Structure 1
Amino acid sequence: MTDYLKDALKKAAMFCAYQERTQQEVRDRLKDWGVIGDDAEEVIAELIQQNYLNEERFAKSFAGGKFRVKGWGKRKIKQHLQQRGITGYNLDQAMKEIEPDDYRTTLADLLTKKRQSIRDDNPLVIKQKLVRYALSKGYESDLVWQVVEGM
C-alpha cells in the first residue's frame, strides 16, 4: 500500500470512527479526497477488515436511533436506509432492532402528545390530523388507525 493510500486509509478510519458510516458515504468522501476506483475499493476493503466499516452495525444503530430519538416509523426508517444503499439482510436486521410492543407504545405516545397540541373541537378533524401526522412519521396506516380509534 502506497503512502498516499495509507494517508487515505488513516483519514477514512477517523471518518468512520467518529460515527457509523455506510460504504457509499465512505466512497463519496474518498472521491472528495481524490481517491477513486480500485484505490477507493482497497481502502474500503481494509476498513471493513479492521472493523471500522460495518453496514449491519450502521443499519442497526440508525434504525434504533431514529426510532428512539425521533420517533420515526418503520416505513420512514426503511426508506432512508435504502437511500443510503442498505438492502437485504442488513435492512432486515435493522428492522428487528424495533420491538413490536415499543413500536405501538411509541406511536400511542406520539399521538397523545400531538392531540394536546391540536386546537380543534371537531373529532373528525382531530382524527384526520392525528392520522396525517403519524403517516408523515412513517408509521403503517393500519396500525395508525387502530391506535387512533383506540384513543
Structure 2
Amino acid sequence: MNLSKTYTVDEAQKRLEQYCAYQERCHKEVTQKLYDMKMIPEARDQIIVHLLQHNFLNEERFAKAFVRGKFRIKKWGKQRLQLELKRKDINNTLITIALKEIDDVDYYETFNSLAERKFETIKASNTQKKRKKLADYLLYRGWESHLVYDKIRELIP
C-alpha cells in the first residue's frame, strides 16, 4: 500500500471496511492505520464511528477471537493473553469476558501436553538446567507460575 497517497474520507472508509472485514481488528490497529493514511483527526473519528455503527469494528468480538486464536494456535496461557490484549488497549472488563472463551478442561489439557512435549525435547543433563529451560519456556508463553512449578516438580522430581 502506498502510504504517501492521500485519501478522501469515502476511499479511506472503504479501505478500512476491507481491512476490518479481512480479520477482527481492535480500535488501536484501526486508529494506527488511519494515522498512517495521514487522515485528519475529524476524518479518523468519522470513519471509526462508521465502522462501529456498521459492526466492522467490535472490541469484544476482537478480544474473543484474539484469545481463541492465540490459545489454540500459539498455545499461550492466560497471563500472556491478558498482557497482549492490554498492549492493544483493550479494557479489563473485555479481557475478562474474552478469557472465558477458553474452556478450563482444554486449558489444562493444553498446558499439560505442551509441558510434556517440551520436557521431552530438553537435552540438558543437569536437573537444574532442565527445570530452568522448562520454566522459562512455559512462563514466556504466559502460563501461570503455580501451574508451571507444580508441573516441573511432577516431571523433574
TM-score (norm 1): 0.91
Q: What's the % identity of the aligned pairs?
A: 38
Show structure 1 runs of 5+ residues with no match. none
Q: Among residues 108, 111, 125, which one is paired with 2:115 in the alignment?
A: 111
Q: How does 1:68-79 map to 2 (within 5 A)?
A: 68-79=72-83
- Map of 1:59 onto structure 2: 63
Match of residue 81 from structure 1: 85
Distance of aligned partners of 1:88 and 1:120 in 2 relative to their CA distance in 1, 3 Å threshold: closer
Match of 1:93 among 88, 92, 97: 97
1:106-145 matches, within 5 Å, as 106-145=110-149
- Give secondary structure in 2 for the equivalent of 1:24: helix
State the match for 2:17 in structure 1: 13
Q: Which amino acid aligns with 1:69?
A: I
Q: CA RMSD in A?
A: 1.5
Unaligned runs of 5+ in 2: 1-6
2:25 is paired with a residue of what secondary structure? coil
TM-score normalised per structure 2? 0.88
Q: Which runs of 4+ in 1 moved over 6 A?
A: none
Q: Secondary structure at the match of 2:137?
A: helix
> CA-to-partner distance for each residue in 1:23-69, whole Å, 9 max, x for gaps?
11111111111212121111001101101000111111111111110
